[in-house]
Amino acid sequence: MDMIETDVCVVGGGIAALRAAMAARAAGASVLVVSKGKAGKSGCSVISEGILNAPFAPNDSPALFVNDIINASAGVAKRQLAWALAESARDAVLSLEDAGITFEREESGELHLKLSGGHAVARTVRVTPSGPGCGKVIPQALYEQATGMDITLWDGATVVKVLTNEGKVCGAVVYDGSSYRLVSCAAVVLATGGAGRVYLYSTNPTGIMGDGAYLALDAGASLVDMEYVQFFPTVALSSYLLLPFIFTDGAQLLNSEGERFIGRYDPSLMEATTRDKMSQAIFTEAMEGRGVEGGACVSCASVPPDILETKYADEAALFAKHGLDLATDPIPVRPACHFFMGGVDIDAECRTAVPGLYACGECAGGTHGANRLAGNALTETLVFGSRAGSSAAAYAASAERHCPSDEAEAYVGTLPSTGGESLAPRLAALRNIAWEKLGIIRTQESLSSAINDLDWFGAEIGGAEQTADLETFFDFRCAVTVLKAVAVAALDRTESRGAHYRADFPRQSEAWKKAIVVRPGFEIAYDPR
């Protein structure tokens, strides 16, 4: 088997991965980035809306930011991670200007700060030029920086195994679409994004199947907060995120009866409510027969025309291409899986329980607890991407090296060969199960049924000797593992908290103010919050 040697292997191609690679290289390590897609042009980073948070204003501070993170998390965010995010956010966001990124500013030159849902003060900035999908400029700019730093970039390849020797990372097995290759390294940084595509309806692009969570659990690390899956409530045109700013300007949610129904679910905040509550409200309206195309409608009739014509000109143009007038036509929206709060269990330096294994970005858990504040996702990738890369480089500088060729050959021998039936129909069925039984509203019955289904799928794939498509096999394997972790954690948590809603336990319980940790073998442990 061909072998590549490096100090640090970064898995992923988005903002977190590129930031980790750059930090590790700046610390003197040799770095290899392995990405399923094209680095800088694939994954969730390139479809983001370019919004980031940091305590910029005079009336803001890291302590106030942490307080908002903890409150939004329903009290269960990992405080050391919340502090790491809040204290490093300002410098991390402004560092993008070194890569040529610009932000919306006032005529005075000060940053234009927006107030997002769940924040006590305005601290959200947006890249320019703004508009649908404008966040893609960030990973593209970081990619340009990375290419000038002697970092090896390997696109179109999938890491399928993190190898260990005596419990420590020693390498990785990579599948490039035709053959397996071995990476010998001292440290691995997982920056693979979340697992949104394991659900039937998702805002995530293809390929986001929970690779990082699978690789970590398989290597001996733990997952945390897996029951908390965020569903973006207002997805239009199958994948376009209608951002919450439009509600602060007067837009309203309506059901099929033309009723502004959100008051039944959050009479205080109304449409300024959190994403989890809005998703539950829309889902319930649809389930009770008052839905519109399985969701609801957003009406902009109360938004001042001058604001629509200026602030939302790009959105208006987009909907016009689909025959919809943003000013007069109700826009159909529905919830879709958007973000995994849960992921690999890390500390503030992105270390896992496995020496030499690090995680950052959406594939890491704990920072957001039961619910993520809007705008924190990109900031998280910047802050923890840098920390993970620096930590991995420091570890690799003094780690004993072991050539894992024997381990790699033995592992590849356990994998199925090509041929046989395609797993694509089973993967589609799995995504349906996730939506119906592990989605926005859960019960003991639905969760238990999902676990039975997942065990059956897991046994089937575990015994497969042949498969028509190895890429689908690896995606399927990741999906089964991630969904099993979601299911066992959601079944164990007999309460509703944040994005986790149990119809049979609809109230939040003080006894459950703790994190659920899923260990290898899907064993459950607890971490007090």
The CA dihedral of 42, 47, 53, 57, to the nearest 10 degrees, is: 120
**Contact indicator for 412, 171 with CB cutoff of 8 Å:** no
pLDDT in tens, 385-423: 999 999 999 999 999 999 999 999 999 999 999 988 889
**Contact indicator for 343, 225 with CB cutoff of 8 Å:** yes
- The whole-angstrom separation of Cα 253 and Cα 301 is 11
- The whole-angstrom separation of Cα 244 and Cα 382 is 23
Tokens of 518: 């899923």
pLDDT in tens, 26-42: 999 999 999 999 999 99
- Decide: residue 254, CB within 10 A, 0-12 exposed, 13-18 middle, 19+ buried: buried
At 445 the pLDDT is: 98
Smallest Cα–Cα separation from 479: which of 498, 467, 466, 461?
A: 461
Strand order in the sheet with 514-519: 364-365, 343-345, 223-224, 514-519, 523-528
Strand order in the sheet with 51-53: 51-53, 124-128, 102-103
Chain Cα centroid distance, residue 241:
15
pLDDT in tens, 203-238: 999 999 999 999 999 999 999 999 999 999 999 998
In this model, does residue 461 exceed pLDDT 90? Answer: no
At 117 the pLDDT is: 80
Q: How would residue 12 be classed by pLDDT, with cut points 50, 70 and 90?
A: very high
pLDDT in tens, 422-452: 899 999 999 999 999 999 999 999 999 999 9
Q: What is the mean pLDDT of residues 453-470?
A: 91
At 277 the pLDDT is: 86
In this model, does residue 462 exceed pLDDT 90? Answer: no
Tell me the CA distances in angstroms from 191 to 14, 153, 154, 188, one per residue in order.
Answer: 8, 14, 14, 10
**Contact indicator for 141, 101 with CB cutoff of 8 Å:** yes
Q: What is the mean pLDDT of residues 144-148?
A: 96
At 361 the pLDDT is: 98
Average pLDDT, the chain: 96
Say how many Å lie between the first and final Cα of the chain, rounded: 46
**Contact indicator for 473, 425 with CB cutoff of 8 Å:** no
pLDDT in tens, 103-130: 999 999 999 999 988 899 999 999 999 8
User: Which domains are delineated in the chain?
Assistant: 233-337 (3.90.700.10), 416-519 (1.20.58.100)
- The whole-angstrom separation of Cα 473 and Cα 458 is 11
52: left (phi over 0), alpha (psi -120 to 50) or beta: beta
At 464 the pLDDT is: 84
At 434 the pLDDT is: 97
In this structure, is the dihedral angle defined by the CA atoms of residues 43, 70, 365 and 200, taken in order, positive or negative? negative
At 460 the pLDDT is: 85
At 360 the pLDDT is: 98
82-96, 191-205, 263-277, 295-309: lowest mean pLDDT where? 263-277
At 259 the pLDDT is: 97
pLDDT in tens, 269-321: 999 887 888 998 998 999 899 999 989 999 999 999 999 999 999 899 999 99
Q: What is the mean pLDDT of residues 479-491?
A: 98
Q: How would residue 241 be classed by pLDDT, with cut points 50, 70 and 90?
A: confident
| DSSP H helical ranges for 220-312 | 245-248, 275-287, 305-310
Chain Cα centroid distance, residue 68:
20
Omega cis (within 30) before 129: yes
pTM: 0.93
Count of other CB atoms within 10 angstroms of residue 421: 12
